[in-house]
Amino acid sequence: MLALSDLKKLAEMSTFERAFLSVYLAGPHSTAELDKKCERIRHLLRTDGSGKDEKEYFDDNVRSVTEYLDRHPLKSGALCIFSCRVLDVFRAIPLSVHVEDLIRIDSSPFIRPLAELMDEHATAAVVVADNKKARIFVVSMAGTGSEEVIRGNVKNHVRVGGWSQQRYERRRDNELHKYAREIVEALEKIGSSEEINHILMVGSKETLRAIHENMPRDLRDKVVEKAIDLSKGDPSINKDIMELFREEELTTGLDHWEHIRAEYLQGGLAVIGPEEVLRMAKAQRIEHVLVDRTLQAPGMRCRDCHDLNLGMATSCPACGSQSLFEVEVFNEILDMVYLSGGAAYFTDPIHTLTDAGGIAAHLRY
């Protein structure tokens, strides 16, 4: 299962040369064309006679990938592989969702397709609860995970009058609070082992309210809930859960863009365009970044000082070196955002965002 922590670990890796090979395979059929595609790329690589050149880095990494696929043939599903013999890094990540075939060489792993997958297939905890029983499922890009069941002992309301009823209601409230805390603790335990993007809760109104009231702020902000009658049976409950998923999906790239745009227009914590977003990413100020998934921004990284700049420069603005190589700037920005604890969202083309350069960000300060 791919987690945000996996992307952060990959984002930490970097070299001063284009020594990283990233390979995305859509399925078993993709391996048949891999050698031919790699050979075409090899003929385009730099050989300058000074030390180990890009062809040698590439050949070493291709050899590692080929040897892995010989030992572990891809029989189903998709796969992405990151190889860098310079750093002694090799990582193969099976994927249960579709990816396009892709081969990329760079100074760091090409994580942009994985970041897009995480945005499209966010992990959610689903809570189905009434006063008697709570079930918690984890649903992610890897499918449905384990189920946890928590039993409740919350009695029905009664009418006995006077102090007896007050004592009964106090005991009942205490049981409901204890039950809700157990559910919240289970969610916190799940959240400590994997990144939970949304919490979808369905069930009795009273139980959901108690769970919500016992949640810390970081979990409460992820909640989408709906009071339903759980006696209707699983088919009806599943339908209600799917409706909640669809409601949550309404938080689209357009919503993110409108929020950033409004903040920017009032001079607030937002920047637009590759230049400003790159500057804020270097300063570790980005809370979340929004990227047009169809656009790519070229840039150049310096082999001598590792500085990154937009456009196709012929010399490094930082140190003056002419030893530069081309990179995909949006991928580099993603590395910086993840390393500084930020998040990334992707969107289909939005006219005003495209005019602004295809990328924008909300700042943390």
Domains of the chain by range and CATH? Answer: 1-120 (3.30.960.10), 122-249 (3.30.420.60), 252-365 (3.30.1330.30)
Max intra-chain CA distance, the chain? 94
What pLDDT score was predicted for residue 254?
Answer: 84
Q: How confident is the model at residue 140 (pLDDT cuts 50, 70, 90)?
A: low
What pLDDT score was predicted for residue 20?
Answer: 95
Q: Across 163-177, 264-278, 293-307, which has the greatest mean pLDDT? A: 264-278
Order of strands, sheet of 20-25, starting from the edge strand that comes earlier in the sequence: 89-95, 78-84, 20-25, 102-106
Q: Give Cα separations from 257 to 68, 185, 238 (angstroms).
A: 41, 34, 31
Q: What is the mean pLDDT of residues 342-354?
A: 91
| Helix, strand, coil percent values for the chain (each to nearest 5) | 40, 25, 35
Q: What is the mean pLDDT of residues 103-129?
A: 88
What pLDDT score was predicted for residue 34?
Answer: 95
Q: Per-residue pLDDT for 249 more than 70?
A: no
For residues 109 and 80, is the Cβ–Cβ distance under 8 A?
no
Q: Across 44-53, 260-269, 340-349, which has the greatest mean pLDDT? A: 260-269
What pLDDT score was predicted for residue 154?
Answer: 66
Q: How confident is the model at residue 247 (pLDDT cuts 50, 70, 90)?
A: low
Q: Which tokens hold the place of 286?
A: 């980005």
Higher pLDDT, 292 or 226: 292
End-to-end CA distance of the chain: 33
Q: What is the mean pLDDT of residues 105-130?
A: 87
Q: What is the mean pLDDT of residues 113-141?
A: 82
Q: Per-residue pLDDT for 160 more than 60?
A: no
Q: Per-residue pLDDT for 193 more than 80?
A: no
Task: Give me the percent of the chain exceeding a pLDDT of 90.
Answer: 49
Average pLDDT across the chain, whole number: 86
For residues 18 and 328, is the Cβ–Cβ distance under 8 A?
no
Beta-ladder partners of 49:
none
Q: Per-residue pLDDT for 161 more than 60?
A: no
Higher pLDDT, 293 or 71: 71
Q: Per-residue pLDDT for 197 more than 90?
A: no
Task: Say how far apart CA 115 and CA 290 lie, in whole Å.
Answer: 11
Please tell me whether residue 272 adopts helix, strand or coil conformation.
strand
What pLDDT score was predicted for residue 126?
Answer: 87
Task: Say how far apart CA 58 and CA 60 lie, in whole Å.
Answer: 5
Residues 6+ apart with CB under 8 A from 245: 124, 200
Q: Per-residue pLDDT for 317 more than 80?
A: yes
What pLDDT score was predicted for residue 5?
Answer: 79
Higher pLDDT, 140 or 282: 282
Q: How confident is the model at residue 51 (pLDDT cuts 50, 70, 90)?
A: very low
Kindly tell me the sign of the dihedral angle through the C-alpha atoms of 29, 30, 34, 37: positive
Q: How confident is the model at residue 292 (pLDDT cuts 50, 70, 90)?
A: very high
What pLDDT score was predicted for residue 50?
Answer: 45
What pLDDT score was predicted for residue 158?
Answer: 47
Higher pLDDT, 126 or 160: 126
Task: Give me the percent of the chain exceeding a pLDDT of 70.
Answer: 89
Closest CA to 357 of 288, 265, 291, 286: 291
Q: Per-residue pLDDT for 313 more than 90?
A: no
What pLDDT score was predicted for residue 252?
Answer: 66
